[in-house]
Amino acid sequence: MSFEHLLVERDGAVAVVTINRPKVLNALDTATLDELRRAILDLKQEEAVRALVLTGAGERSFVAGADIRELAAMTPIGGREHAIRGQHVFDLIEQMGKPVIAAINGFALGGGCELAMACTIRIAADTAKLGQPEINLGLIPGYAGTQRLARIVGKGRALELLLSGESIPAHEAHRIGLVNRVVPAGELMVEARKLAATLAAKAPVAMHYILEAVHRGLEMPLAQAEIFEATLFGLVSSTDDMREGTKAFLEKRQAAFKGR
């Protein structure tokens, strides 16, 4: 599969997807969103790929936001459809059943921050900045930013960022829980790839069920979520990976998971 605005690299069980529009700070236009959708669907089906790293081209920007020229021309109906399209793509990332690591190498603003929040784990360069500045354009976030941000950092902190439109440095983003880890900029991709390789070596079916249990369980009452977790536990107990993992533990060797 070829792309105009993305670079897709496979390194063993890890795929690295790079938003490749550095001249516009990797802004997300409709064409790039569509390519990202196709790439995620393709990689979801590739059994050999067990973890992803998502980043932006160049040293300045992860994704600086949506394409402002497109937004400026939106009608109310068109704007709603545009937001739903972006939400769909980001939902695919969150729900693909494989861990996706956002390697935030610079600006992650607006749609870029929303994209990072859809990923499983966020690692930021110490030079990165994150924020939701849509209010400064007379807009609100449209790719589920109002929803994911509040779920990740809490209502109060989310409202402060959303209503002020201010961006925050990586270390502040880490302090409030918006990113998992901050590393020196020169070490970002090494650390992201290392983490992706570690996760790729884990049991794929169990990985998928953990992601599903967390994402869906957060939307349920606790008692219902516990039943859902127990059901997934029962399903994973029937897998070859479970038998291999428990056998390897008892035999004091490294497990070789096959994803079955």
CA 121, CA 233: separation in Å to the nearest integer?
23
- The CA dihedral of 239, 214, 167, 162, to the nearest 10 degrees, is 150
Tokens, residue 9: 């690299």
Active-site residue, 166 included: no
Q: Is residue 134 flagged as an active site residue? A: yes
DSSP per-residue string spanning 38-86: HHHHHHHH-TT--EEEEEESSSSEEE--B-HHHHHT--HHHHHHHHHHH
Helix axes 111-118, 145-153, angle to 10 degrees: 60
Angle value at C-alpha 259, between 256 and 260, nearest 5 degrees: 105
Radius of gyration over alpha carbons of the chain, in Å? Answer: 19
Q: Which of 59, 114, 160, 212 is catalytic?
A: 114
245/248 Cα distance (integer angstroms): 5
Query: Out of 81, 94, 134, 191, which one is annotated catalytic?
Result: 134
The catalytic residues are: 114, 134
